[in-house]
Structures are given as structure tokens and as C-alpha cells.
Structure 1
């Protein structure tokens, strides 16, 4: 698996000792309000999520990275690429996503990690196009997508959770490293 270093972060494979800090993030309602149906996740569900992300790496050649702070070694969150299987409307696009613990919000980590992932997607993995999907009222994620140079393209209704989602997109011709 690829490791990416940015000025403040390491995007890397998942380690066994990442489970507890990620489970703490997943137990925070403020973090999870924008993910899935908004429910918090327990330790077993978090372990299942990491397993799915690792399987996607094996199957697709990309997935979600663990995002570690370079200075302290703390797990700050996750960022990476995935196939949005639960949204057939956007298939065959590949989604870029990020999630960070609340204590890491407002410090530019999501944008820094997302920029590195976008560069990885377009330059290393040769993807022609990447999308970001966020709940319509999640202005923080919409701002990260905007900072990536992504353009809002359309709004759809999530087929399971019935909330409105904004789809942002960028293709290789629009990307500015």
C-alpha cells in the first residue's frame, strides 16, 4: 500500500492500534452526523469498516488511508478513495472522502489530506475523474471540496437514508496540483 507524506500528515495503511482511536471518533455524534444515517458506531462496527477499507485496497488498488499527525503520531482520521456502491446514480465515479476527530477540525487537516488523495487518484492511480459527496447541509465538507477545485454538479436523494446529497466533481483536465 502507498504511503503519502504531506507537510503535517502521513497517509498510511491501517495498524492494529488505530482501532481504538478510530472507534472513539466513530462514537462521537458530531463526527458521525454526516456519515451514513448519522448513527455512532461501536468498536466492532469500526473494525468492520477498517476491514472493508483494507479489502477495497486489495480489490481496487485504492481505499481509505489512516491519517496520522506527523508531529505526534496521533491518528487524526481517515481519507481516501472508494467506490460509492450505495449510490448507483453516481456509478462508475470514484469518491474521495475524509473524516477526522473533532479535536482535529478547523486546522486544515482535511483539506491537506484530501489534496494528497486527489493527487494520488489522478496522478498515481490514473483516474480521469473523482467526485466528493456530502450532505447538503454539511458546509465544512463542501468547503473542502471547493478547495480541491471541485465543482458542485447536482443534488440527489440518498436511496436509503432519504437525505439530500451534493455531488461535486473534478476531472484531470481541471486539476491544478
Structure 2
């Protein structure tokens, strides 16, 4: 498990993280590239899925907090993608941070630690990321991480209706860098 970076601590979830997660997922600015903000009940389902992924796979989305003051920042981690996605099977890196922590480099910093864990500890040959075509902030993070995209791999997300404005997604890939050990 990735545990820390210079400024951040990545850790397993605690029950007392739920209010911060619910606030994050209800925020329209945070959720603007998702179909809709989540209700408290929907966030409770997400919270259970996050914990279930750890139980099933031994890794997942980690709660992220600042080392300096233990303030909750958001989450960053790895997920096994759903079989309904056109590039499955694959391991995805994902993040979601509170707006007060945007533009500090936290997503990139935590994601680098997670990628290192994915390549070195989990032995993944490739890690993917995807987002809506319009989510340029996340795409900038993906490029900072060294991820590459090809427009011929853009896809319509199968869980969104055909006429949904966020249906078109861009896929990014990162192959294991040379020198990373395999497990």
C-alpha cells in the first residue's frame, strides 16, 4: 500500500471519513464531470463499494490527508475496471479532491505514489485512466503523470445514455516504466 508522499498520507478509510466523502460527492463543482452530485445514500453505496474493492482485491481508492494538519484532501487509488468497459480488463488510477485542495499538486503527488505501488508492488504492466472529453483538469494530471492518449481509443461510456453530454470519454494509458520491478 502506498503510505505517504512528501506532503500527504494515503491510508485506509475510517468510518469518520464518511462526512467528508459525502460533502465531496455532493459538491456540484467536484461532480461537474459526472452525471450528477451524489445523495448521502448514493455516497454511502460508494463508500461500501470502496471498502469492498479493498476486501476483494487488496487495494483500492485510498483516503488522502495532509501530513501537516491531518486535513482530509480526498481520495486517490487504483481500481479494477468494470467488464463493460471496452478496454477491460485493466487497472485504473482515479482521484477526487476537495476544491480547497485543488491547484496544489496533490492529485499528481498522490497519483505518482499510487502508480509506483501499482507497478512495483502489484506488478501491473499498464495502468489506465479515463475521463470525459471535457474534463481538461484531470487530463492535465494524466499528462503530468506521463500517460498517453490516442483519439482512436475515445469511447462512449456504456453506463451513460446515448444522448448524455458526458458520454464521450478519453482513455489514457501508462506502461510500466523501464526499471520498475515486477512482482
Moved more, 116-125 or 157-166: 157-166
8 Å CA contact 2:83–2:89 kept in 1: the answer is no
Equivalence for 1:148: 145
Give the structure-2-normalised TM-score.
0.89
Task: Select the structure of larger CA radius of gyration.
Answer: 2
Return the offset for 1:58. Answer: 1.4
Q: C-alpha distance in 1, partners of 2:85/2:4?
A: 33
Q: C-alpha distance in 2, partners of 1:109/1:101?
A: 11
Q: C-alpha distance in 2, partners of 1:159/1:174?
A: 34
Q: C-alpha distance in 2, partners of 1:14/1:160?
A: 27
Query: What is the Cα-based RMSD across aligned positions, in Å?
Result: 1.6
Equivalence for 2:115: 118
The one of 157, 170, 174 equivalent to 2:174 is: 170
Runs of 4+, deviation exceeding 3 Å: 173-176
**Unaligned segments of structure 2, at least 5 residues:** none
1:83-102 to 2 correspondence within 5 Å? 83-85=80-82, 87-102=84-99
Q: C-alpha distance in 2, partners of 1:45/1:64?
A: 17
- The question of 1:27 aligning with 2:31 is answered no
Q: C-alpha distance in 1, partners of 2:83/2:29?
A: 23
1:46-125 to 2 correspondence within 5 Å? 46-85=43-82, 87-125=84-122
8 Å CA contact 2:2–2:113 kept in 1: the answer is no
Q: C-alpha distance in 1, partners of 2:107/2:179?
A: 18
Q: How many residues align?
A: 173
Give the structure-1-normalised TM-score.
0.92
Q: C-alpha distance in 2, partners of 1:174/1:53?
A: 31
Equivalence for 2:156: 157
Return the offset for 1:3. Answer: 4.8
Return the offset for 1:43. Answer: 2.2
Return the offset for 1:49. Answer: 1.0
Return the offset for 1:173. Answer: 3.7
TM-aligned CA distance change 1:6 to 1:80, over 3 Å: same
